[in-house]
Amino acid sequence: MAELVFHTGPMDCGKSTLALQFHHTQSTHGRQGRLFTQQDRSGTSSVTSRLGLSSPAIEVTEEFDFWRYVIAELTGGKRVDYLVCDEAQFYTGEHVEQLARIVDELQLDVYTFGILADFRTKLFPGSQRLVELADRTETLPLGPLCWCSAKGTHNARTVNGLMVTEGSQVVVGDTESGMEVRYEVLCRAHHRRRMTATRAKATLSPEPLPFELG
Ligand SMILES: Nc1ncnc2c1ncn2[C@@H]1O[C@H](COP(=O)(O)OP(=O)(O)O)[C@@H](O)[C@H]1O
Ligand SMILES: Cc1cn([C@H]2C[C@H](O)[C@@H](COP(=O)(O)O)O2)c(=O)[nH]c1=O
């Protein structure tokens, strides 16, 4: 049975690396797939991993229709066995519905990769629809650590090291330090308390209590 799978986890947990590995492994076993992305950090139509791997990909614009694309490929005599879709959080609900139709009616495997929630802990529309429709949602086992060494689970957006909680849902960016606007993965407790690494360094040494008074 073909499957729609959603591989998720916070930023910097290895999703794009796994997407490229899936594509590579399947293609070396004679299967023919297509790689998709939307607004990759590199600014190019490609899937890029922080491990240095990258591969050209088809850009999923708002108007892009996965169903029409696959039907056109198949009726044009091309072979399509599976789809690998990175940055799927940015896809629309309609995109995800098209992917589910491809799985059900064409029996093609669709492997999607993306973060679940934004910097305010709200689900992205594409991720929400994937959780609703996917046959399986898999959380990647490894991931970045919060500055306190707990497992990093929540994506924070920071400006000069301070966490912000207002702004556009989509601002393409990275977790690299040294940038004015960047992302930092925190544990839930420190995300709730807006305690980024910079703020922790400035205010806590060592952290006096595991909770806030008042
Ligand atoms: N130099 C390195 N050596 C080993 N692993 C690395 C190195 N640089 C990055 N990584 C791994 O790559 C992961 C990020 O991979 P990436 O596919 O870009 O993540 P995502 O797509 O989830 O944002 C990091 O969590 C880390 O485990
Ligand atoms: C939390 C959050 C992230 N983004 C952007 C930042 C990156 O461009 C991607 C995530 O990429 P990764 O491969 O998982 O590292 O999403 C955003 O636009 N809004 C957010 O709230």
Give the residues surrounding ligand 1 with Cβ less than 6 Å away: 11-17, 49-51, 144
Per-position DSSP letters for 44-106, written without gaps between them: SSEEE-TTS-EEE-EE--TT--HHHHHHHHHHTT----EEEE-SGGGS-HHHHHHHHHHHHHH
Other C-beta atoms closer than 10 Å to the C-beta of 21 total: 15
Give, for ligand 2, the residue of 47, 175, 183 to mutate: max count of ligand atoms closer than 8 Å to Cβ: 183
**Tens of pLDDT along 99-151?**
999 999 999 999 999 999 999 999 999 999 999 999 999 999 999 999 999 99
Give, for ligand 1, the residue of 38, 49, 53 to mutate: max count of ligand atoms closer than 8 Å to Cβ: 49
Atom of ligand 1 nearest to the CA of 48: 18
Domain range summary for the chain, segments of one domain joined by +: 4-139, 154-203
Kindly indicate the confidence band of residue 214, based on its pLDDT and cuts at 50, 70 and 90: low
Spatial separation of the C-alpha atoms in residues 134 and 111, rounded to whole Å: 10
Write down the architecture of domain 4-139 according to CATH.
3-Layer(aba) Sandwich (3.40)
Q: Which-ligand-closest: CA of 51?
A: 1
Beta bridge partners of residue 56, listed in sequence order: 46
Which residues participate in catalysis according to the annotation? 87
Compute, in angstroms, the gap from residue 4 CA to the centroid of ligand 2.
Answer: 22
Long-range contacts, 205-210 (Cβ 8 Å, 24+): 207/148
Pick the range with the lowest mean pLDDT from 22-36, 73-87, 196-210: 196-210
- Return the pLDDT at 193: 97
CB 92 within 8 A of CB 56: no
**Tens of pLDDT along 163-196?**
999 999 999 999 988 888 999 999 999 999 999 9
- Return the pLDDT at 8: 98
Atom of ligand 1 nearest to the CA of 143: 25
ipTM of the complex: 0.97
